[in-house]
Amino acid sequence: MKKITALVLAGMMALSIGGCAKKTTDDTAKKTTEARSMILATTTSTQDSGLLDYLLPVFEKETGINVKVVAKGTGAALEIGKNKDADCLLVHAKVQEEKFVKDGYGKERYDVMYNDFIIVGPKDDPAKLKTKASSDALAALKLIASSKSPFISRGDKSGTETKELAIWKTAGITPKGNSWYISAGKGMGDVLTMADEKNAYTISDRATYLSMKDKLDLQIVTEKGKDLLNQYGVIRLNDPNHKIKEKEADEFITWILSDKTQKLIGQYGVEKYGQQLFVPNAKK
């Protein structure tokens, strides 16, 4: 009887030790998974265009780092970076980005890729942009204003709105306060949908428009002008208090600037849309 009892106790101890070992292994794996994560604050166009859904699974598979995306207008993304509520930024308003670094919020900024902005509008094109200003954004906005055609602005301090307001300023026009000018306060996908519903014009990045084109009754009316370049940059944050995950952020920056990832970026959209949606241009 004593021998049987000893065997039972030994078995129970083995199970207990095994259970503890499994729990320790599970806990370690969980902590490792939690440690290998980061937050990327970015513009809505990288999300709405589908680029991040294309790139991030590759990054996560290669590095084991899970990326949580916070997609806002560039202005809001920069504020998130200032508050250290993200670990890395991928945005598209170069002047604002360079000021962000100069003011000490970022250590470095790198060009990643570019595409271009376009002006889209209703198929009947009431302001006649396609015939009178097919490659001149300045002339296009003047025609919209003079014809009082509805125009939807992002109104969210995004890189797209920054570009739009710069063109209005150059044209000598203050659109805000006019009945035909609507400030939406929304991301690019939502604004394209609004423009479609209201038979209005808007400025969009080409990638988001192409990714939504089949769902919209909007056409490109102005494109490829000198004022319509759309450069994207990645920013390494300056964080002396070490609130952010610097190691993971550095791995992401190194990865997105690498030749392999730059090639992936250049291939995105070619198969589906017959053209690349972003042109990689990281400095070698």
Number of compact structural domains in the chain: 2
Along the 284 residues of the chain, how does pLDDT read in single tens digits?
A: 445 445 444 555 554 555 555 554 555 444 444 568 999 999 999 999 999 999 999 999 999 999 999 999 999 999 999 999 999 999 999 999 999 999 999 999 999 999 999 999 999 999 999 999 999 999 999 999 999 999 999 999 999 999 999 999 999 999 999 999 999 999 999 999 999 999 999 999 999 999 999 999 999 999 998 899 999 999 999 999 999 999 999 999 999 999 999 999 999 999 988 999 999 999 86
Burial per residue of 148-158, b for 16 or more beta-carbon CB atoms within 10 angstroms, e otherwise:
ebbbbbbbbbb
Q: How many CB atoms lie within 10 A of CB 42?
A: 25
Tell whether 214 and 235 lie within a shared domain. no
Distance CA 43, CA 21 (A): 44
Q: How far apart are CA 99 and CA 57, in angstroms?
A: 31
Domain region containing 150 = 116-222
- The domain that holds 64 is classified in CATH as 3.40.190.10
| Per-residue CA distances from 171 to 44, 85, 94, 118 (Å) | 27, 37, 21, 17
Which residues, other chains included, contact 129 with Cβ-Cβ below 8 Å and sequence gap of 6+?
119, 121, 140, 143, 144, 201, 221, 222
Tokens of 111: 């060009």
pLDDT for 283: 87
Listed in sequence order, the residues at least 6 apart from 131 whose beta carbon sits closer than 8 Å to its beta carbon are 125
Given this model, what pLDDT does residue 36 score?
Answer: 87
Structural domain contains residue 147: yes
pTM of the model: 0.79
State whether the Cα torsion 12-18-22-23 is positive or negative.
Answer: positive
Strands (E), the chain: 37-43, 66-72, 88-91, 106-122, 151-153, 181-183, 202-205, 218-222, 229-237, 279-280
At 143, list the tokens. Answer: 């025609």
| Residue 237 sits in the same domain as residue 167 | no
The verdict on 238 and 109 lying in the same domain is: yes
Domain end position, chosen among 203, 222, 241: 222
Does residue 8 lie within any of the structural domains?
no
**What is the torsional sign of CA 71, 75, 77, 83?**
negative
Q: Which residues contact 168 (CB under 8 A, 6 or more apart)?
A: 141, 174, 175
Is 17 within a domain? no
Is the residue at 27 inside a domain?
no
